[in-house]
Structure 1
Amino acid sequence: MVFHFNSNNKYYYLVILLLTFNTHSLTKALSNPNLILEEVYSWHLFKDSYGPTFSGNLSWQKYMELLERELLENGVKGLTKDFFEYERWYTSNEKNDHQWTLTIEGKQMDVASYWAYSGLTGKTGVKGKLLYYNQDTPKDLIKGKIIVFDIGGLPESFKRFSEISKHEYATEDLQQIQDNNSTSDYWYQVNYITRFAKLDEYLKDSGALGAIAILDMSPGRAEGIYTFPLIRPGIIGVPGLYVDRVSGNELRDAALKSKYANLKLLANVQNSKAYFLSGFLPGKHFGEDKDQFILLTTHTDGPNLTQENGGFGIIKIVEHLNRIPVNQRNKTILIVMDPQHFMPGRHSVDWFKLHANLSNRIVSVLGIEHLGQMEYKDFGNQFKLSGTTDKTYIYTQDNQNLINQAIYAIKQHKIGRTYVLCPDRGGQGPWTGMGNLAQKMKVPGYGISTSMSGYWSTKSGIESFSSELFMKQVDIMADLTLYLMNANSEEIQIKGP
């Protein structure tokens, strides 16, 4: 059963959700598989109704309130909030609100999205001459100009880095690997500006009036693009926009002819509070010096529904574990929910250093992210759901028992379009997502993610969510959590570097 959004069932599920919030027994009674799927759907409908969850905004606050409520009801102890403040930049996510626009000599141009944390303008925007920028453009020429630049597609060097040419296991529907690198290309382009080209550093204090990036993407795929602010905190000070390759052809021609343009980007800057949420699902040695922790972790912020919904996945895993009496749980579950995914200076606060007394008890890790996502594909200039699921990736540390257990769980739960990958063995791509904490901590562990076809857009919502896929992914990760809880250390010892 796959639940999708339509206008007739939206309010029905919101009612179910409100009943669930206010009736503790209803939540606990959801043992019927169909009712579980409806509960999961209702959570996501609620999350989606508030829009993107950027740390500190209203949507994020509502999401965190729901997560906290469910964790408490499921017996999670010692819930702790580690607060911090940061400068949050934001604008409307709706094109029709006309908060971000571009005109060239009076002609309105179609804009795909805004460049987050770039800058802002006054109500009338900024007017100036367009300048087409390339690597040979002298920096002193960009002062007082609106610069235009192309973001090319995925270069060969990055294709080799991200390519999955091998795997430990693939479901039958993925036996023939024919990855067209569309997700890697997506990732490369949205990271290009700040991560690879470092154009944020180049533009800061340059005197440029504005900047427009031409994405090598179809109009449908480029719509709603939201890029990582990434490593460097703060706001650039040069307002920026994105256009797709169709509008980009006209824009490039105008820039090469030095035409005049007006760029508007209305935005706000606000000091916001966010927090890590952490807690414990006790094992039989909870509170004792000899207790050991299995880390369940996820991000809590992102531009769309499944980026990030890992918190809901953790709740469902906790529900699985609660079926086991505390005196039979060999280890305590440490839950850490991190709000720094799409923040400027992301991961600048190291929770594990702040809580070194807890971190040094972590003996294994599971990263839970991006669950229940259906696949988007290009169809001409449109970017639409293909009718199938995104590929699921189960990442594992380098130990054959860990790998075998992941394969077994996949077969048990009959999930399709799924890989088991061990990046340390080579040719299987890099770790993606928070499962790589196992790699960093050099402990046994797993991560789950997807091919993330709609990952970097504010537009993918409840219509692209599958409760059935979500629960299969959760069931697999719950089984792997139990395996890590019961396995002896020699059985799951990982290979050294």
Structure 2
Amino acid sequence: MTHGETVDRDQLLSAQRRLDALGPRLTGSDAHHAVVEEVAREFAELGLEVHRDSHTFERWDLPRSADGLRVELPTGPVQVSSAFPYSGITGPAGITAPLVYLEAKRPSWSKAKGAVAVIEVPHIDLPRSLLVSEWGPMVTDETLRNPVLSATLLGPKLEKARKAGAVGVIAVWRGIALDNALGQYLPFTQPYHDIPALWVAGDEGAQVVAAARSGQQATLVLDATLHPGTTTDTVWAVAPGTSPEETILVITHSDGTNGVEENGHLGMLELARHAVAQPHRRSYVFVLTTGHLRIPAVSKHGQATSTWLEAHPEMWKGEAGQARAVAGIAIEHLGALGDIEDTTTGSYSLDATPEPELLYATSREVHDIAAPLWRDIGSGDRRIVAPGPVIHFGEGEPLFERKIPAVALVTAPQYLLALREADAVTHVDLDAMVKQIESFRDLLDAFDATDSAAFGSVVSRSVFAKFSALLKLMQILKRAKTAVRLY
């Protein structure tokens, strides 16, 4: 793919279908390893030297059968929406114990000593202004909704539950469609807790709450397994430029839950093909990061790419004897279709049109470079945003924290972290995916042609803005917990 050419749609479609057929690629799994090795082979076939950074960790694996993930009440089984990742294990027989209902607002975990704690978790909308900032006027009444936010901010505190002597936890989603809750691999950023925990939703959740309120017993089965000594690799390659003292970083991650999360490597490979087809001034560094779905195993602070950056300052830091990264690109969730949820009727389905993009530019100047190049994918929202006062989502975050000017795509439909098995329906709009990759290609060319001083300074979050946003967020979460009531 040279300048002005379009992406090979057939090749891209074939690659996406292979990814869909693999199903979930959880960190360190065989399917995840297959993706990493495929990218490494393609780098090598392009004539690029492949580098590896290996990590070793204890992998927690989901049960292999439906029978290994269940809740049995005296009245019969209830459908489990998903397992709480890296919570704990029960073995095939599970654990049988009384259910104890805990108030969501101020859960007294000690009341659940020797029991299975049941706690409700509201699925909420959050003001967009708390999560992203705008380069233009903010529409103040906009909200964003994603189970990632609800599970992370309002989910059960398993460390407290374990220390208090609870033997298990059932988290009951409130305000979420049953099909939306199904398979959610959430929250995915926590350490291993050594206490089994599950999610249930809808009428099944109502049954669990009623059983807990009446002090019934239940059997909880989470027949997960632990695999110490699991290895996983970040692979990376450099396309040398004529002025290698300056670099442009191109980042994505390899692990994922479905065909959108994560397909960013398909775009990265297209940019690598483009890079080797023509000379360029800066060296392009292509990094396929591992551990996005197992951040505690690879990173002490920040998203998984933080570890690669700390290990390889010679590629970006710009001190004596080191190249300096003048800009970065983070590619995630290409071509993501939208979804439609009706919490009144409980219906949930994929939309026929793309999800509105979440596309960051971390300086005004980078925004102005990207805006005329970015193609309209037909999602109805073409805003390029700035990082919010509290968080920058996705693997572009480590670039932001190190003040490397960057553009990062991290579109977030509600199913983003939901496990989808092999050969399930694709969640990708091919036309949108092609346009996004072509936009990134043109952006890479523009970055290569831009003087280093013209990228501007990465925006900074003021202490006041952080404090104000966190205070408002705490008030919203408090109200959400207070609003949890009987079914």
2:153 matched to 1:192? yes
Structure 2 equivalent of residue 226 of structure 1: 185
1:103 maps to 2:93: no
> Equivalents in 2 of 1:138, 1:176: separation in Å?
39
Cα distance in 2, alignment partners of residues 128 and 238 from structure 1: 14
Determine whether 1:275 maps to 2:233. Answer: yes
Tell me the amino acid that sits aligned with residue 434 of structure 2.
Answer: M
Contact 1:365/1:437, CA 8 A, preserved across alignment: no
Quote the Cα distance in structure 1 between the aligned partners of 2:177 and 2:288: 34
C-alpha distance in 2 between matches for 1:331 and 1:32? 21
- C-alpha distance in structure 2 between counterparts of 1:404 and 1:138, whole Å: 51
- Taking the aligned partners of 1:267 and 1:496, their CA distance within structure 2 comes to 43
1:401-440 matches, within 5 Å, as 402-411=366-375, 416-423=379-386, 430-440=391-401
Measured in 2, the distance between the counterparts of 1:163 and 1:376 equals 21
Residues in 2 aligned to 1:251 and 1:44: alpha-carbon distance in whole angstroms: 39
User: Which whole-Å CA distance do the structure 2 matches of 1:240 and 1:115 have between them?
Assistant: 5
The one-letter amino acid paired with 1:437 is P
Deviations 1:282-316 (Å, cap 9, x if unpaired)?
A: 11134xxxx21100011111211211111111001
Task: Report the equivalent of 1:343.
Answer: 294
Match of 1:371 in 2: 334
Q: Is the 8 A contact 1:304 1:459 kept in 2?
A: yes
TM-score (norm 1): 0.81
Q: C-alpha distance in 2, partners of 1:446/1:138?
A: 44
Go from structure 1 to structure 2 and tell me whether the alpha carbon gap of 1:266 and 1:315 turns closer, same or farther (over 3 Å shift): same
CA RMSD of aligned residues (A): 2.8
1:151–1:192 Cα contact (<8 Å) kept:
no
Alignment of 1:290-329 (within 5 A): 291-324=245-278, 326=279, 329=280
Q: Secondary structure at the match of 1:336?
A: strand
Write the letter of the residue equivalent to 1:237: D
The answer as to 2:1 corresponding to 1:40 is no
The range that moved more, 252-261 or 137-146, is: 137-146
In the TM superposition, residue 159 of structure 1 has moved relative to its aligned partner by 5.7
| Residue of structure 2 in register with 1:241 after alignment | 198
Shift of 1:482: 1.2
Contact 2:354–2:378, Cα closer than 8 Å, also in 1: no
* Residue identity opposite 1:219 in structure 2: L
Quick one: distance in 2 between partners of 1:491 and 1:155?
A: 37
Equivalent in the alignment of 1:211: 169
Q: 1:489: how far off?
A: 1.8
Say whether residues 1:123 and 2:92 are aligned partners.
Answer: yes
Question: Does the CA-based 8 Å contact 2:247-2:282 persist in structure 1?
Answer: yes
Q: How does 1:138-153 map to 2 (within 5 A)?
A: 138-153=108-123
Counterpart of 2:352, as a letter, is G
Note the 1:6-17 alignment, pairs <5 A: none
The aligned runs of 1:371-410 (5 Å cut-off) are: 371-379=334-342, 380-400=345-365, 402-410=366-374
| Number of positions where the alignment pairs a residue of Structure 1 with one of Structure 2 | 440
CA 1:472–1:110 in 2, change beyond 3 Å: closer, same or farther? same
Q: Is the 8 A contact 2:54 2:234 kept in 1?
A: yes
Partner residue of 1:451?
412
Q: Which amino acid aligns with 1:86?
A: F
Matched, 1:330 2:281: yes
Deviation, 1:405, is 2.3
Could you tell me which residue of structure 2 aligns to residue 201 of structure 1? 159
Residues 220, 260 of structure 1: alpha-carbon distance in 2 compared, 3 angstrom cutoff = same
Relative distance call for 1:191 and 1:139 in structure 2 (3 A) is: closer
| Cα distance, 1:205 vs structure 2 | 3.7
Q: Aligned partners of 2:368, 2:132: CA distance in 1, in Å?
A: 23
Query: Is contact 2:170–2:198 with CA below 8 Å preserved after alignment?
Result: yes
Please report the TM-score for the alignment, with normalisation by the length of structure 2. Answer: 0.83
Aligned to 1:481: 444
The code of the aligned residue for 2:61 comes to: Y
Distance in 2, Cα, partners of 1:395 & 1:145: 45
Alignment of 1:156-175 (within 5 A): 160-162=129-131, 166-168=134-136
| 1:29-68 matched pairs, under 5 angstroms | 36-68=8-40
Q: Deviations over 1:85-132 (max 9, x none)?
A: 1011011476xx221111111411111111111111122211111100
Superposition pairs of residues 19-30 of structure 1, within 5 angstroms: none
Q: Contact 1:47 / 1:62 at 8 angstroms: preserved in 2?
A: no
Name the amino acid aligned to 2:240. P
Which blocks of at least 5 consecutive residues in structure 2 are unaligned? 301-306, 318-322, 461-487
Structure 1's consecutive aligned runs of 4 or more residues displaced over 6 angstroms after TM superposition are: 175-178
**In structure 2, distance between residues paired with 1:261 and 1:208:** 14
Question: 3-state DSSP class of the match of 2:291?
Answer: coil
Contact kept? 2:184, 2:415, Cα under 8 Å? no
Does the residue aligned with 1:224 lie in a helix, a strand or coil?
coil
Contact kept in structure 1, 2:373 and 2:442, CA below 8 Å = yes
